[in-house]
């Protein structure tokens, strides 16, 4: 028995494809913001490891340059460095504008690294 097929796709398949592509689109935007946050925080951890060899101003300049190269907002480059005895704390704070379907959020990121040198 041979059936006549029109070649039309069902509407359900198109809808699910639309939902999946929207999830991927917005997921990439959110994932990219968090990926850059983790890269910046890793750069801070590296600065902590070499803090004995660098002054606070050198650390601030290098982290400001790293924030700029990662495409982070300008406030991310304003780094606070605190030293007490042989301990060091490096931190920054910035907001990132994230767009989701029907929702626009300002997410605050607080990269931080601490350690001893």
Q: Mean pLDDT of successive 10-residue segments in the chain (117 residues)?
A: 60 82 84 96 96 95 97 96 95 92 90 94
pLDDT (0 to 100) of residue 16 = 85
In a domain, 56, yes or no: yes
Q: Which stretches does DSSP call E strand in the chain?
A: 80-84, 87-91, 94-100, 103-109, 112-116
Under 8 Å CB-to-CB from 27, ≥6 apart: which residues? none
* 1, part of any domain: no
Number of domains in the chain: 1
* Domain presence at residue 5: no
pLDDT of residue 27: 84
pTM over 0.85: no
Residue 8, phi then psi, degrees to nearest 5: -80, 145
Question: What is the reported pLDDT for 83?
Answer: 96
Residue 98, SS3 per DSSP: strand
User: Is residue 85 situated within a structural domain?
Assistant: yes
pLDDT at 19: 85
The alpha carbon of residue 45 and the mean position of all alpha carbons in its chain are separated, in whole angstroms, by 16
Examine residue 6 and state whether it is found in any structural domain, yes or no: no
C-beta of residue 92 within 8 angstroms of C-beta of residue 76: yes
User: Which two structure tokens, joined as six digits, stand for 49?
Assistant: 């490891």
CB 67 within 8 A of CB 96: no
d(CA 18, CA 27): 14
32: in domain? yes
pLDDT of residue 75: 96
Q: Kindly state whether residue 51 falls inside one of the protein's structural domains.
A: yes
- Let me know if residue 4 belongs to a domain: no
pLDDT of residue 9: 58
Q: Containing domain of residue 94, as a range?
A: 11-116
């Amino acid at each position: 028995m041979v059936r006549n097929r029109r070649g039309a796709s069902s509407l359900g398949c198109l809808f699910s494809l639309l939902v999946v592509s929207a999830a991927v689109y917005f997921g990439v935007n959110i994932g990219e913001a968090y990926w850059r946050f983790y890269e910046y925080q890793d750069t801070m951890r590296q600065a902590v490891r070499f803090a004995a060899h660098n002054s606070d101003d050198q650390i601030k300049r290098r982290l400001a340059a790293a924030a700029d190269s990662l495409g982070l907002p300008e406030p991310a480059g304003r780094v606070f460095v605190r030293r007490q005895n042989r301990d060091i704390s490096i931190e920054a704070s910035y907001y990132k504008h994230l767009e989701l379907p029907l929702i626009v959020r300002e997410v605050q990121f607080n990269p931080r690294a601490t350690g001893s040198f």
